[in-house]
Structures are given as C-alpha cells and as structure tokens.
Amino acid sequence: MTAQRIQGYPVLIIGAGRGGSALLEMFMEESLAKVIAIADKNPEAAGLQLAKKYGVPTYTNPVEAIQACKDYTDCIIYNLSHDDAMAVEVAKVFGDKRMASGPEVMLFWQMVTNLKQIKGELEKSQNQLQSIIHNAMDGIITINDSGEIQGFNPAAEQIFGYPKHEVLGRNLNMLMPEPVRSEHDGYLKHYLQTGQTRILGVRGREVTAIRKNGEQFPMELSASEMMLGGLRYFVGIVRDITERKQAEEKIAHLAHYDYLTGLPNRALFMEGVEHSMHLAKRNNYKVAIMFLDLDGFKKVNDTLGHDAGDLLLKGVAKRLKEIIRASDTVARVGGDEFIFVLNEIGSDENAALMANKIINALSAPFELKGQQCHVGGSIGISLYPDDSVDTEAIIKQADEAMYLAKQSGKNTHKFYRDVLRGRAGK
C-alpha cells in the first residue's frame, strides 16, 4: 500500500449535519488541514451539499469513506455521527489509530469556534483602527527606536508631499530642517539612554518641518511612546498649522497696524515713542514728534466719496513712508491724522526741514478716479527732552502745535515753543 501525500493533514469527517458542516467550513479556511472526504447516511445533509461546492468527495456510506481514505496513513477522523460502531470500522482500516468523536469533537469545535470569533473580533478591531488611521485628518507617523519610519498615513503623505513608499524605512530626520535634522538622532539616543525627553507626552508642541519640495512650514506635534511585541515604537500625530499661524499673524497685524494704509496704529506708535525716548535719554540725543493733519481732505471725501478718500489716504501713506528714514516711524492715528517720531534729529532746524519736505511731497497732485486732487498738510512739532519727557504730554504738545499751524494759514509747520510764545503774548 502506497501512502498518499498531500499538503496539510488529511481529514475525514463522518457526520455531515450542522456540526460536520461547520467543521468542514472551518477546515477549508485552514492550510494545515486537507479534507479528503465527508460522509453521512443522509444524502441531503448540509455538509454534503457544502462539500460538493468545495469539490470535496462525499459518501452516503461512512464505511466506504473510511475505506477510500486507507491510503492516507496519517489521516485524522472526526466522528460527529453519534454512531459508536464507526470506531470499530476505523480500527479495521487504521489499526489502533484513535478517532476523535462525541465530546472530543464538540470540545475541539467549540474551542476552534471561540478562537475564530476572537480572531474575527481582533481583525475587526484592527480594520477599524487602520480605517481610522487611514482616514484621519491629522498625519500619523510611527518610527522604531532607530528613528526609522514604520508608518505614514495618507494625511502625512499630503502634509509632507511624500508618497508612503518613499519614506518607509528612512530616518525621520528627513522631515526636519537643519539644525534639528542633524541633532535628531542624538536626541533619540539620549532619551533611550537616560529617559529624559522634551517632546514625548507634550501635546501640541510647535515645531518647524520641511516638505519634499524643500518648503519649511509650522507644524503641531504630539508624540508618545508604545511597546508592541516587545519592541519600542514612537507615534507622532502631526498637523500643518500654516493657515492658523497666518491667521494669528493677521490678527496680530490688525491689532497693531492700520487696516487701510498698513502703517502702525496709535497703540504700536506709543510703544515706539516710549522706546525712542528711552534710547534718547541713554544716548543723550533729541527726538522730534510731528503731528500731521491733512488740509483739504474733507473736500475730497465730500465731492468724490469715501472710496476716493481711502485711495487718497493710501497715496499719502505711500509718500510719507518714502520720505522718512528707516530709523524713523510714521503712523496713522485718526481719519486724516498722521504722527511721526524722528530719532536722533540733531537740531531743531532738521525737524523743520523734515516738516517742509513732507509738505512739499504732499503738494504734488494725487490721481483719484480719473481726477487730480490736491491736499496740503499742517504739522506740529514737539521735542524730547526740550518740551517734555512724558510720552502722552509730548504727543499732546505736537497736537497743539499742529492746530496753531492750521490757524496760521495751513500748509505750514509750527513748534510747540510757538504755542508757548503765543500764550505768553496774550
């Protein structure tokens, strides 16, 4: 007799009812077993019908099935027929070979069923987790303790511009700009040796990352550590915060700059004046504060409309920025009011020369809505430390001098000392 060889342990199932059918289905999913036949006296048994679909030989005479399997010397027989006589028939063919039957098969089937259920639940959980990772809006990156990328979800691909296959197995530092890139492996080694870290467990840490195209961008990182199968991994959840940072910068800009002209507003200007006066005191030099009010602006607004008025203010701001030095500041503090701080002005005459320069720059016509418009400027000047050493007071003095300039015929400048002389003359 020549023993038959097949892949997997040969299995014969006797009894093709509900239990035999379930056992057949289970074995058909396993590569370790090969069902070579199934038998049941009832030709309509569910297991026989299922076996025909799988192409497994079927028998309605269990003895014939046992005989048919005699060449498989290592055959395992499962008896679910509740017929104890089958043990005698098996012994005739296979000698003292044991046959699983009754409670043994039931226990085995229940154990396997439970394992399959657990396996199914684990697969379901794993599929759910993979689905969450795959569809997460945040990038999820996994690295091993050598810093090599092990996981890179679609959101990470979109954030960094790398397809997954281009980063797997490569060092995480490829996503970092210098000098962090060169320092990263040292940080990781230091943590593995000492347990000291600045990143793990910190939620929402802001860092700078780099895309495939070389573009650097702000990123929010939350990193944690995990052990899996005795191996250490690090998981990073990353989020591109470019839009958020731009919004924050825009809000900060609006808080300190005039929305129309882009010049500093009064709040930022006041900070600048205080700083300028502090430097002037330490270095023993003069600072001039100039207050400018446009002459003829209301007429433009009334005749051509507010849109034209806005265009005029933008044009004025452009000319003023082109005139002043880089070390000086001009701000818009009201409708048509502008204020300057001129650092290290030297003599009073220099302040007067700058005022005349501004007035001359404003004298050229402005093109608004196809029409040429003309405005002038009345300027008041106060000096630190000659007139005051107080921020609010020195700005108020420049404002008073500006009103004197308007009263003196407009399109001119006056010093605060001129205000004091006028008062003394009264």
The H or E element that residue 227 is part of is strand 216-228
**How large a percentage of the chain has pLDDT more than 70?**
92
Which pLDDT does position 50 carry in this prediction?
A: 93
pLDDT of residue 403: 94
pLDDT confidence band for 282 (50 / 70 / 90): very high
Q: How far apart are the first and last CA of the chain?
A: 140
Structure tokens at 394: 């020195």
Asked which of 115-129, 257-271, 278-292 is least confident by mean pLDDT, the reply is 115-129
As annotated, the residues of the chain forming the CATH 3.40.50.720 domain(s) are: 9-110
pLDDT at position 345 over 90: yes
pLDDT at 330: 95
**Higher per-residue confidence, 107 vs 419:** 419
- Rounded CA-CA distance 96/79 in Å is 16
Q: How much is the average pLDDT of 265-271?
A: 90
Q: Tokens 């920025």: give the residue.
A: 321
- Report how far apart, in Å, the C-alpha atoms of 48 and of each of 13, 60, 106, 157 are: 10, 9, 19, 51
Angle between the N-to-C axes of helices 242-256 and 266-283, in degrees from 0 to 180, rounded to the nearest 10: 70
Q: What angle separates helix 266-283 from helix 391-407, to the nearest 10 degrees?
A: 110
CATH class of the domain comprising 9-110:
alpha beta
> String of b and e for 95-112 (b: at least 16 CB within 10 Å)?
eeeebbbeeebeeebeee
Query: Would you say residue 208 has pLDDT above 80?
Result: yes
Which pLDDT tens digit goes with each residue over 375-398? 999 999 999 999 999 999 999 999
Gap between the Cα atoms of 362 and 147, Å rounded: 63
Q: How confident is the model at residue 128 (pLDDT cuts 50, 70, 90)?
A: confident
Q: What are the structure tokens assigned to 180, written together?
A: 């962090």
CATH of region 257-425: 3.30.70.270
Strand residues in 102-157 grouped as ranges (E): 139-144, 149-152
Distance from C-alpha of 401 to C-alpha of 64, rounded to nearest angstrom: 122
Average pLDDT over residues 32-44: 91
Confidence at residue 20, expressed as pLDDT on a 0 to 100 scale:
85
CA separation (Å) from 242 to 144, 218, 247?
Answer: 28, 6, 9
Judge whether 225 and 234 are in contact, CB under 8 Å.
Answer: yes
402 to each of 271, 314, 343, 346, how far by Cα in Å? 22, 21, 20, 21
User: Mean of the pLDDT values across residues 12-25?
Assistant: 87
Range(s) for CATH 3.30.450.20 in the chain?
A: 137-244
Amino acid at 181: R
Closest CA to 151 of 160, 159, 141, 161: 141
Q: What is the pLDDT of residues 353-376, one digit of tens each?
A: 999 999 999 999 998 878 888 999
Q: Tell me the pLDDT tens digit for each residue of 305-323.
A: 888 899 999 999 999 999 9
pLDDT of residue 172: 92
Q: Is the pLDDT of residue 101 over 70?
A: no
User: Which of 12-16, 186-190, 346-350 has the lowest average pLDDT?
Assistant: 186-190
Return residue ranges of the chain for CATH 3.30.70.270: 257-425
> What CATH number should be reported for the domain whose range is 137-244?
3.30.450.20
Give the confidence band of 129 by pLDDT, cuts at 50, 70, 90.
low
Comparing 65-79, 82-96, 234-248, which segment has the lowest mean pLDDT?
A: 82-96
Residue 1 pLDDT > 50, yes or no? Answer: no
- What is the maximum span of the chain, computed from C-alpha positions, in angstroms? 141
Phi, psi of 283 (to 5 degrees): -105, 5
pLDDT at 66 over 70: yes
This prediction's pTM: 0.56
